[in-house]
Amino acid sequence: MADTIAAIATGPVRSAIGILRLSGPDSVSAVSACFTPRSGRSLTDYPPNRLVLGVLRDSEGAVIDQCLATYSKAPHSYTGEDTAELQCHGSPTVLSAGLEALFRHGVRQAGPGEFTKRAFLNGQLDLIQAEAVADLIDAQTAGAARNAAGQLGRAMTRQIEDAASQLTDLLAHFHVVLDYPDEDIEPFEAQEIADTLNNAANQLSRLRATYRRGRQLTEGVPSAIVGRPNAGKSSLLNALLGYDRAIVTPIPGTTRDTVEERCVLGGVLLRLIDTAGLRETSDTVEQLGVQRSREALAQAELALVLLDGSAPLTDEDKAILELSAACPHRLVLVNKSDLPTVVTLPEDVEFLTVSAKTGEGLDGLEAAIRSRFAQSLPRQGEMLTNARQAEAIGRAAESLSGAAEALAMGLTADAVLSDVEAALAALGEVTGRSVTEDVTRRIFERFCVGK
């Protein structure tokens, strides 16, 4: 990392402010070559971390923008290196010209996530924090942002380090007893070892168990909209999204395949899946759509069961109600409240009345979803949302369970220690202490350029 990188750190759209950022040994000199403070002094005449007003010029001396500049000295910066930043007016044209001017002074274009990668490699962030940066940028709900911010603040790192510390103490004591048998060192009792292993394993298992909800937090609660043809499923999808995503016609069976979109309702991110109408049909294509609808319902966390309130309850409706009862969460919606209500439901079926056409009752649907899922929002930073981390923590917990079993069976200390060491290696993958270069590269490839 002996070179200097630069990138546009803001989006490629017109905005009030656009930022050019640099990191590396030539950051300050490159900015100083393009930027002149209005006072006529050099940027380095000012102390670090102070905004300085001045003019940004191209290689021909032509003015690009009047902007602000600042710099930080290593290691007191985001990346741990010398860094600099230009805060310009947010024109993509201005920012591109400014970046080109910097390139002429020995800096190169930064790759995706390269600033955060340098922060990780320089010890400014561990890998959990680095991945939390990407999660914070991608957050679509307040809950997801709060969880990512907590991870950036080391909430999850502290949990991992606590478990790793217990295991490291256990390993260290074991090795001292084994390596120095003549020393007056108190050996661990079997029950004490078992307690340490079980405590750490349980702590990691509880953390691993948060992944299911954490995944829903970032990717959306899988929500299947089901019902017989023409119950208004596609109309409901369009109403919740606020635009016409699915085709709506009075012809039964218009939807032949699942249509998936995300939306935030009641502060909860939903992965809405509009499905083909569930019915018996001789149409081969529609049969495939019905089968996919059944699969979507089987995998859903939330079933939105739509019934046509303007028509009597049919055998198909009853079958859908029975089929959807196995879903972890179900909301029965009697649609078409803008028409005379004819349908009659069994007394044990709770329902909401809505109109996908007029929007009536959708606020009640929003409140119902909030009441079912909002209470599951995490405490800050204590929910796993990352598949890589969840897999490694799961392996660590399994290794500790294996160590506890080996201890209970009376196997030698080497057998117990081998599993404990495997658990520590897996935890090191989570925090980045023992992660491979290939894994590191893959992680930062998902970042945007400039972060």
CA 298 to CA 323: how far, in whole Å? 9
CB-CB contact of 356 with 274 (8 Å): no
Rg of the Cα atoms in the chain: 29
CA 196 to CA 444: how far, in whole Å? 35
65: β partners: 56
Number of CB atoms found within 10 A of residue 203's CB: 18
* DSSP state for residue 41 in the 8-state scheme: S
Type of residue numbered 169: D
Please, what is the Cα angle at 424 between 165 and 187, to 5 degrees?
60
Compute, in degrees rounded to 10, the torsion defined by CA atoms 267, 276, 298, 281. 160
CB-CB contact of 295 with 268 (8 Å): no
Tell me which residue of 187, 42, 226, 159 sits closest to 396, measured CA to CA.
159
CA 208 to CA 8: how far, in whole Å? 37
CA 266 to CA 220: how far, in whole Å? 13
Structure tokens at 320: 């859908």
Type of residue numbered 263: C
In 294-355, beta strands by DSSP E: 302-308, 329-335, 351-353
Half-sphere exposure of 145 (CA within 13 A, CB side): 7
CA 325 to CA 175: how far, in whole Å? 56
Residues 6+ apart with CB under 8 A from 181: none
SS3 383: coil
Compute, in degrees rounded to 10, the torsion defined by CA atoms 156, 174, 399, 212. -20
3-state helix/strand/coil string of 110-124:
CCECHHHHHHHHCCC
Over its length of 451 residues, how does the chain's per-residue pLDDT go in tens digits?
Answer: 689 999 999 988 899 999 999 999 999 999 999 999 999 899 999 999 999 999 999 988 999 999 999 999 999 999 999 999 999 999 999 999 999 999 999 899 999 999 999 999 999 999 999 999 999 998 888 888 889 999 999 999 999 999 999 888 888 877 665 655 555 445 556 677 888 888 899 999 999 999 988 888 888 899 888 888 888 888 888 888 876 665 444 544 444 456 788 888 888 899 888 776 565 555 555 456 566 777 777 888 999 999 888 888 888 888 888 888 888 999 999 988 888 888 888 888 888 998 888 889 999 999 999 888 875 555 678 889 999 999 999 999 999 998 888 888 877 777 788 899 999 999 999 998 877 787 788 888 888 888 8
How remote is the C-alpha of 387 from its chain's centroid? 10
What's the predicted TM-score (pTM) here? 0.81
Strand order in the sheet with 15-23: 35-37, 52-57, 63-72, 83-90, 15-23, 5-8, 108-109
- The pairing of strands 329-335 and 351-353 is parallel
Structure tokens at 128: 């959990």
CA 230 to CA 189: how far, in whole Å? 69
